[in-house]
Amino acid sequence: NAGVTQTPKFQVLKTGQSMTLQCAQDMNHEYMSWYRQDPGMGLRLIHYSVGAGITDQGEVPNGYNVSRSTTEDFPLRLLSAAPSQTSVYFCASRYRSYSNQPQHFGDGTRLSIL
């Protein structure tokens, strides 16, 4: 039972490059979400999904795209990387959007944009 798996763990990009952060869960959770964590800012929601084929924007969606073709996977795409996107990115999942169960988090992707 792996939980939430994020790859890669570390990445360095140049400004303007694109990349995809991968997230997979094996718990059959309907709800998945992406956060970014910056010092003193807590966690801010980027995008979320309540099930396969359904995604929506969170608090800070600009510069990011998501898709949800399967229940298990929820990749986050940076379209044209900018230094302001240097951050630690966390993927999380829980059973359903209205469930009172806690979210499960991956160990994060540490992304630096030069």
Residues at the site binding another protein, with contacts judged by CB under 8 A: 4, 31, 33, 40-45, 48, 50, 56, 58, 90, 92, 96-100, 102-108
Contact 76, 34 (CB under 8 A): yes
Q: Is 71 left (phi over 0), alpha (psi -120 to 50) or beta?
A: alpha
Could you say which DSSP state residue 14 is in?
-
Q: Name the minimum Å distance from CB 95 to another protein.
A: 11
Q: How far apart are CA 112 and CA 41, in angstroms?
A: 17
Q: How far apart are CA 69 and CA 20, in angstroms?
A: 15
Q: Name the minimum Å distance from CB 2 to another protein.
A: 13
If the CB atoms of residues 33 and 87 are measured against another protein, the closer one turns out to be 33
Alpha helices in the chain (DSSP H): none
| Nearest one of 89, 85, 95, 86 to 107, comparing CA atoms | 89
If the CB atoms of residues 28 and 100 are measured against another protein, the closer one turns out to be 100
Q: Name the minimum Å distance from CB 76 to another protein.
A: 15
If the CB atoms of residues 14 and 39 are measured against another protein, the closer one turns out to be 39
Q: Name the minimum Å distance from CB 81 to another protein.
A: 22
If the CB atoms of residues 4 and 113 are measured against another protein, the closer one turns out to be 4
